[in-house]
Structure 1
Amino acid sequence: MFNILVVDDEPLICKGLSNLLASSGLDIDHIYTANSGFEALDCIRMEEVDLLVTDIQMGAMSGIELMQHAKLAKPWVQTIVISAHETFQYAQMAVRLGAKDYLIKPLNSEQFLDSVRNVLLKMDRPSPELATFMAGLGESFKLEEPLPEYSKVLNALLADPAAVLNDEAGMAKLDELMLEGPYFSVIKIKLPLPDESMGGKNYSSRDRGLLRYGALNIAKELLDQEWSSTAFYSPDEEITIIIQWDEKSYEEAGTGQVGRLDALGRSLHFNVHKFLHLNAVIGISQILKGLSFMEVLNRQASKAILWNKEHSDHYVFYYGDFNWNNYAADPSAEELHTRSNLIVQKAKEYIDENYAQKGLTIHEVAKKNHVSPNYLSYLFKKNTGHNLWEYVIKLRMEDSREMILNTDLRRYEIAERVGYESPEHFSKIFKKYYGISPSELKK
């Protein structure tokens, strides 16, 4: 069963869409509603949401900004955008962020439910190619090397860029692939396929090929939505992805590109685990300009994967998180532990000072520590036992409880002081946290 979040700054629209979904006969477990982007983001952080249905123009945080933050929090959440304006720019931005549909108000009930139904159906099923061998047709499924004429030159590019860039035939292949950049990043997917048992027997060569093919299929399906990329097989049974940006698209996203790569990595891990039941390890390089740096990017992605040996319960690693320049050699376990503690300590200090700031995000806290939100969240939970956002809410709730019991401040004033943009949003969080409303506590 699926959980759906409906977001609109008009409460009547939220109520109408919720009622429509509740009576639709779709396989829905919970329907959540929110009247602002901030309220919706808290819901996404705290609840298991599968589908986000959001208006595009809402007060302080637009639907586009909500999608961006939701991608960072839980990149596998799917989105349908609704808007009162048939604006190409909005539609283009929504599609670029992976929106599954863009519907214009006033909504046609049948069209809306069809859109939701289509998204939910696709969400619960792998691609047709992957479904073919998952359905037990593996023996008759014909495995083909993806881009066989290109895989060799792409792997050569990762190993020795100069040799390929100085070779006319190699350059012709790169031109056919439209590998122009000029900005590039490399992502590697490592599947846990050693000589371990599967159904009481070791992985056969064909088993390994099928699982690898399945992972490549999942990667391509995710990448085709919003990335200019090429995915192919690499040595050591890895899958390599080359992401590229032209000058315009790179500048448009600015520093947010690393966050998007991190979200893509988590989405890759999530979907490989969902459909193949494997904990794939994902290594993500930095972003560099020029094909001549492909060997560097390839080495970075491989090195990032190696950190799974230190963090065996974590699966997505960004090379830039580890501050390699601070160490003459790879850091020891003790050095790694010391740095991890320092990152968490600084994040905790920043949150303690800024938890009441409106619009505070995990991305902002991570940026102050020069690490990705994903890695910071992992370290914070590992070191403190709390999810990072749960810690923010804990501070806000404890502070607000003190004010309710010991001051005459009104609800809207308390909400303002602890970082909530509306008293209604504050009350929802307070009741979820303490089990009673602020007014009930006051009495």
Structure 2
Amino acid sequence: MQSEGLLISTSDGERAWPARQRKLLGWLVNETRGERFIDNILVEMCEKLSREGVPVARATLHFRIHHPQWIGARILWRKGLSEAEIDTYEHGTEESSQYLNSPLYEIYNGAPEVRCHLDNASADGPDYPLYDDLRAEGLTDYIAWPLEHTLGKRHVVTFSSDRPGGFGDDDVELLADLLPTLALVSEIRLKNRLARTLLETYVGPHASEQILAGATKRGTGVTVGAAILICDLRDFTRLSDLWPRDDVIELLNGYFDAMSEPIERHGGEILKFMGDGLLAIFPLSDPCACNNLLGAIAEAQTALAKLNEENLRRGHGPLGYGIGVHVGDVMYGNIGSRKRLDFTVIGPAVNIASRLESLTKELKRPVLLSRAFVEKAGCAAQLERLGFYPLRGLEEPIEIFSFSGRK
């Protein structure tokens, strides 16, 4: 009866949504606004489906994502679980036999639906390896559909049943009716996650948090105390002239991995990559910031030594580097033109760290630290005192120390 459901237009005219559809669609549209995470929405949706008599025992959402490490993610819910499992897939997974021989491959390549009655040995269609896993879980029916996002972006949702005979026709109709709304709800969350991921990838986690919170006005910022690290690769211009392009890119990536991972592991924040160099800070709000910075350098030196061993095995020369370290107050915020901003740090303390990095070339020491940093860290016993040196822009020479690793 039309009075029992909302009228919707279909290719065959109009039909009314039954009460179950109205109830679930109303929840998806109106009651999920305060939920940031799509995995929580999937769990609650499946629980509501079960209460409405739809025999869902397993459901998944598969998303293609923009991330430097992963090409995709799967969110998996199973009956009886209050939380979903989230798995990520590295770039290259799309070329694996597991993916190419799966229902997902069909959907991503245009199939409007993949269905398998798992308890029917004579079911039509390919018998994918996934189906054996589902049968082993006691599942009887499997259905996969595309989730169509804007601009032709296609993702996948699947539902499985454990009831003998699987889903009924009314169950399948209800699930299919949810797809357009589920697509909209999931796209909003995916776009939000994408924005955060892109910002974290290009400006770092703390800066991305500030930007998402609204710090986008030019000239806005705060003054923070920080230990500052500036690192630069030696002879990069010569190497880039001599080596093939792909080898140069691989070299840079290996060098940045060796430097960056210890910095991030020890609580530092990389603010920018500058060609073959990087700028990182360790905020002094952490009382262990200076010692964390030294620990990061020691780990990075070990990683760079291993990288150089590999380069020598491949017939390439070792990589040299220079690191300058200082401590002080910096202005942390938005700097740039009206339309193009950079979230970074500036100030005399940054300039001194940069001058120390340049001085490593002259003194033939890979890591130089200012006396101000050494006093803050209380690490003079680990260091070699080199004496006083003039730095461009400073009226008085400053005392400089060399660091060769943790003793």
Fold conserved between structures, TM > 0.5: no
For the pair shown, the structure with the greater C-alpha radius of gyration is 2
- Shorter chain as denominator, the TM-score bin is 0.3 to 0.5
Alignment TM-score, normalising by the size of structure 2: 0.32
